[in-house]
Amino acid sequence: MHSAAVIDYLRPDTTELNPAPFELCHRVRAEDAFAIGWTELAKDRFLVRAGWPPSHPFFAPLHGGVHDPLLIVETMRQSTMAVLHAGYGIPLDHHFLLTELAYVYHPEGFGVSGTEDLADLEITFSDLTYRGRNLSHLTVGWVVRRDGRTVATGGGQARLISPGVYRRLRGGRVTPVTYRPQAPAADASLVGRSRTEDVLLSPTPVDGLWELRPDTGHTTLFQRPADHIPGMLLFEAARQAAAAAVAPAPFLPARGSIVFHQYAEFDSPCLVEAIPVPTGARGTETLQVTGHQGGAELFRCTFTTPLSS
């Protein structure tokens, strides 16, 4: 494992990074992998350099010309997986499950330049728990910097599961599923998207209540065969429900959190609901979004967006 001096920030021209192949990020297309390279700073502390394209078919820049906050969250997730595989020797066939995640995003730090924008993620692992010799649970913290300035922070809890444990945990439900939505998509502009194929919600007769409409043919959200609905898809669906709740005002999820309670399956409707949450904070609006399936809560999410002046 490559080591480097422990310093607050590493400039691009001062540190030789280990490569971060897109396979380590659990991506099958290089254009969907945002980690470029990594290095170890100290025990359980790493730096990952990331690059964000000026445009992307799914993680497109938002109004105001800023990178999408969920692109930053996806970069946090990918960078963590790359470091766990490369830095801790976790086999590629192990499953990485984020059970909870929270982030704070400062939009003034995420302007899109028109070329690849570089950022450095400082990743710190703590509360590492082992099952025998295998790492099984951990806490992760992220600090995202551009040009030496902190522009986002985050933290989460994760589990690492071997293939055998995963099969037992899933009760044998590990056969990949092909699923195409039959329900009509919500209006793309209402949920903050520009393309119908990126819309993950379908209207229901109840105002503010949506039915999830995953599509395993989506090339960004489903890059590998899946036996359950991915957590990042649920996070994006929650964002779309929150965007619809504040429409026609613009929605920028500058602060967000999500807790996952159980796997989301393809064979039962998943209902997503967003409601305003009084906070007393001026200049912002907070939305709580929940997902339910079969009468059980799948996830609970909160977004805070600045109010337009």
* Residue 13: predicted pLDDT: 45
Per run of 10 residues, the mean pLDDT along the chain (length 309 residues) is 35 68 91 96 97 94 94 97 96 95 97 94 97 93 97 98 94 94 96 97 97 97 95 98 95 97 96 92 93 97 87
* Residue 15: predicted pLDDT: 56
Annotate 101-127 with b (16+ C-beta within 10 A) or e (fewer).
Answer: bbbbbbbebbebeeeebebbbbbebee
Instruction: Say if domain 18-169 classifies as CATH 3.10.129.10.
Output: yes
User: Domain coordinates of the chain in residue numbers?
Assistant: 18-169, 196-306
Instruction: Say if domain 196-306 classifies as CATH 2.120.10.70.
Output: no
Cα–Cα separations (whole angstroms), residue 12 to 17, 96, 261 = 9, 29, 39
* Residue 16: predicted pLDDT: 84
Tens of pLDDT, residue by residue over 255-294, are 999 999 999 999 999 999 999 998 877 889 999 999 999 9
Kindly calculate the radius of gyration of the chain based on its CA atoms and give it in whole angstroms: 19
* Residue 170: predicted pLDDT: 95
